[in-house]
Amino acid sequence: MPTVVQLDMDGNTLMANSSATFANSKEEAKEILGSAEKIGEQELLIADSVNKRAIIVDLTSGNIIWEYKSDRYVVDFHLVNRENVTINVRDDAISESATFVRQGSLVIWENNSSQPVSIYSGSTTYDLFQSDPDLNLYGSLFHSAVLDPGERYSYKFVSVGDFNWFVYPDILTGTVSVTRERVSSRDEFIVVESDNLTSPFSSRVLKVDAWGNVIWSFGEAYIVNPRDARPLVNGNVLVSV
């Protein structure tokens, strides 16, 4: 019997998945019912409450592609929306040379150096550019105007692939890798853990990274029977108990 079903407006089944167990009885469902959320075309986020884990299921293969294991009931699980990625340009350095984003993401370059710079698409190196310093050979996909210190330039990546870029005049180089998958190594998640007790003890709300490392936690010895937690666009989290 599938535990997660997606229906159309006529009641036809569009998707069914049985990777999780939300409750073993109606009474248990009142206390520890989990959650499910489809993101993109093929990823299903599930708070697998009874099995005490948060999982991501690839709907094409049916395989679990990500898992966070807990010692408490996992009653809610959501992806933190991070559509924009900022790359800081500093004097003689950039914040990251390899950037991984999902299709449709906006990448922002911010000039935090002490001099004006420009951003160009294209593949080069410092030595290669010095041998033929012609900027007309680059920038066919995107290029910025001159950015004074503190100014920003952004580009939305709508195609899948690896896209090289560099900073002029220092020729600091980087690559943006764009994937169709909704889930990436940059992602962070909100996980709600419940101890199902009537007094504050170990229930909490967590933010974890793509490797399951806890970035921050809230509510331990403070909240009772948390139900859900929704990440907001401003970076805050709305918690319901």
* Structural domains present in the chain: 4-80+187-240 (2.120.10.30), 84-179 (2.60.40.420)
Give pLDDT, residue 2.
Answer: 60
| Residue pLDDT, tens place only, 148-199 | 999 999 999 989 999 999 999 999 999 999 887 667 777 889 999 999 998 8
Confidence band, pLDDT 50/70/90 cuts, at residue 230: confident
- Distance between CA atoms of 176 and 110, rounded to whole angstroms? 15
- Pick the closest to residue 153 from 87, 103, 104 (CA basis): 87
Cis before residue 169, ω within 30 degrees of 0?
A: yes
pLDDT(1) > 60: no
Residue 239: what residue type? V
pLDDT value at position 182? 64
pLDDT value at residue 83? 67
pTM: 0.67
Query: Which of the pair, 133 or 39, is modelled with greater confidence?
Result: 133
Per-residue pLDDT averaged across 29-54, rounded?
88
In this model, does residue 144 exceed pLDDT 70?
Answer: yes
pLDDT, averaged across the chain: 90
E-strand spans in the chain? 4-7, 13-17, 35-39, 43-48, 53-58, 64-69, 73-79, 84-90, 93-94, 98-102, 106-111, 118-121, 152-156, 161-168, 172-179, 188-194, 204-209, 214-218, 228-231, 237-240
Does the structure show a pLDDT above 90 at 21?
A: no
Above pLDDT 90, what percent of the chain? 55
CB atoms within 10 A of CB 114: 8
User: Which residues, at least 6 apart from 30, have a Cβ–Cβ distance to it below 8 Å?
Assistant: none
